A and B are shown apart, each in its own frame.
Chain A
Amino acid sequence: MVTSRQENINPTRSPALGLRLLALIFLSIVLMYVDNRDNHLNSVRKAIGVAVYPLRVAVDAPVRFWSWLSDSTTSRNELELELGRLRVERLLTKARLQRFNALEAENARLRALLDARSRVRDAVRVAEIMSVDANPFSHSLVINVGSRDGVFDGQALVDADGVVGQVIKTGLLTSQAMLISDTDHALPVEVNRNGLRTIAVGTGQIGSLKLPFVVNSADIRAGDLLVTSGLGGVFPAGYPVAVVASVTRIPHEPYANVSATPAAALGQVREVMLIWSAGAQGNPAENSPAAGHVE
């Protein structure tokens, strides 16, 4: 206190500090308002995002290095075992695919008979998940592709077993995606067995979703597979989402308590597939080696 009085100008006590605070608070509120409303600030976000990119790479590098190290020091024996396992798996998958091709042809014929629009194959691209923690307020992950690779906001992410989430913030080099388990995430699904349509909402727990709008009398039971219905316009139809874990019907309540377990390994995925469905915006990176098509 004594030292502050000895000085002529003390910026820490001047009214200018309070004024500057007010100005900055005002600026923050304007920024938040605009950012919440529209996408006008995407370019600002992208510009700063490029500056953050080296840090993300730096954080990701040790994990990547560790997995590279463990890959390159695996014994020959283990590699052979792994190779054998993969060969068997490939054989099984191919065998299943043969049947699937026939079914697809049959499906196209039936659709033609019904005059329905035939389904177009979706373009996909594999993206790696960076070991970077993002937003503490939501279930999200960071992937190593951005608008440079044709990624767009709202793009669907799947892994080998099912839907993982969707892109919410597209950067130039990296993007942030929201998992389906986030409390703010809702996904239009249908029961694969009978086509019952409903909505799967995240619970904030990585291993469970809830279906809040299933009426008590609906035909749904534990073990039912839920697939995307394609109604929201974000996710292409037909990708597995979750398996119904439990159905509790409470008399006098309009809706049943239904919880489901996500099909994708949300907590453990290292690689995801981005989907460009037909008619969606964006431009699939066809020329990249990782690009392909979902059969």
Chain B
Amino acid sequence: MIQHNAMPRRTVIVTLIVGLLLTIMPLPESLDPFRPDWLALLVIFWAMQLPRTWSIGTAWIIGLILDVSQGTLLGQHSLAFCVIVFITVRFHLLMRVFPLPQLTATVFGLLAVYQFLLFWTNGVAGTHAASTVYWGPVITGALIWPLLVMILSGVRYQDRSGN
């Protein structure tokens, strides 16, 4: 099982910075609506792996940083992040034993919840955007999830063997 006392803090921070870089990296106009929510995927992954040390407060702060870098309403991504982290932490034991296809489907659901919260807050605040802006990242995010799990599990395994 996973060691809970050894929090690979450095690994987590590095992956989050890489995630933020990928989020603000310029993409061609046509691909832009399909950019996965890298930070949302990472936040779900780490919440699943480290449900004890990974608090929803951390996710909230990451959301705030994302809000500033994206220029969205302060608190918008924070809200979405802490909700999906809460769900993930609640069901992390279940999600860990899910086979990959089922886990991917769950992640799809979580990403949909995440995008719905953004959509909802955007609607309340009066920001309009095309529907691909919301659906594109959910689909590409779910497609990229298995790959991300493979890479991050490798990183984590190395991290543990290094300890």
Cβ contact of B56, chosen from A4, A21, A34, cutoff 8 A? A21
Q: Which of A23-38 contact B (CB under 8 A)?
A: 24-25, 27-32, 34-36
Instruction: Number of B interface residues at 8 Å Cβ cutoff, please give it.
Output: 51
Residue of B nearest to A53 (CB): B69
Residue of B nearest to A46 (CB): B68
Interface 9-residue window, one of A74-82, A129-137, A215-223: A129-137
The answer to whether A140 and B93 touch (CB under 8 A), given A20-B56, A48-B65, is no
The answer, yes or no, to whether B33 is at the interface (CB within 8 Å) is: yes
Contact (Cβ within 8 A) B64 A48: yes
Cβ contact of A31, chosen from B1, B55, B74, cutoff 8 A? B74
Contacts of B72 in A (CB 8 A): 135, 137
The answer, yes or no, to whether A290 is at the interface (CB within 8 Å) is: no
- Cα distance A176–B86 when bound, in Å? 32
The answer, yes or no, to whether A169 is at the interface (CB within 8 Å) is: yes
Contacts of A138 in B (CB 8 A): 127, 129
Say what secondary structure dominates the interface of chain B.
helix
Contact (Cβ within 8 A) B32 A136: yes
The answer to whether A29 and B75 touch (CB under 8 A), given A133-B32, A138-B127, is yes
Cβ contact of B75, chosen from A13, A31, A136, cutoff 8 A? A31
Cβ contact of A133, chosen from B24, B55, B89, cutoff 8 A? B24
Interface size class on chain A is 35 or more
- Cα distance A94–B126 when bound, in Å? 46
- Cα distance A4–B52 when bound, in Å? 11
Residue of B nearest to A9 (CB): B52
The answer, yes or no, to whether B105 is at the interface (CB within 8 Å) is: no
Contact (Cβ within 8 A) A58 B70: no
Cβ contact of B93, chosen from A3, A21, A131, A136, cutoff 8 A? A3
The answer to whether A132 and B24 touch (CB under 8 A), given A28-B60, A49-B68, is yes
Q: Which of A80-139 contact B (CB under 8 A)?
A: 131-138
Contact (Cβ within 8 A) B25 A184: no
Contact (Cβ within 8 A) A24 B56: yes
Contact (Cβ within 8 A) B82 A55: no
Cβ contact of B127, chosen from A28, A31, A63, A137, cutoff 8 A? A137
Contacts of B74 in A (CB 8 A): 31-32, 34-35, 41, 44-45
The answer to whether A55 and B75 touch (CB under 8 A), given A17-B86, A136-B35, is no
| Ranked 8 nearest A-B pairs via Cβ | A31-B75, A28-B79, A28-B75, A137-B129, A48-B68, A32-B75, A176-B71, A35-B74
Give chain B's interface residues, CB within 8 Å of chain A.
Answer: 1, 17, 20-21, 23-27, 29, 32-33, 35, 51-52, 55-57, 60, 63-65, 68-76, 78-79, 82-83, 86, 89-90, 92-93, 118, 121-122, 125-130, 133, 137
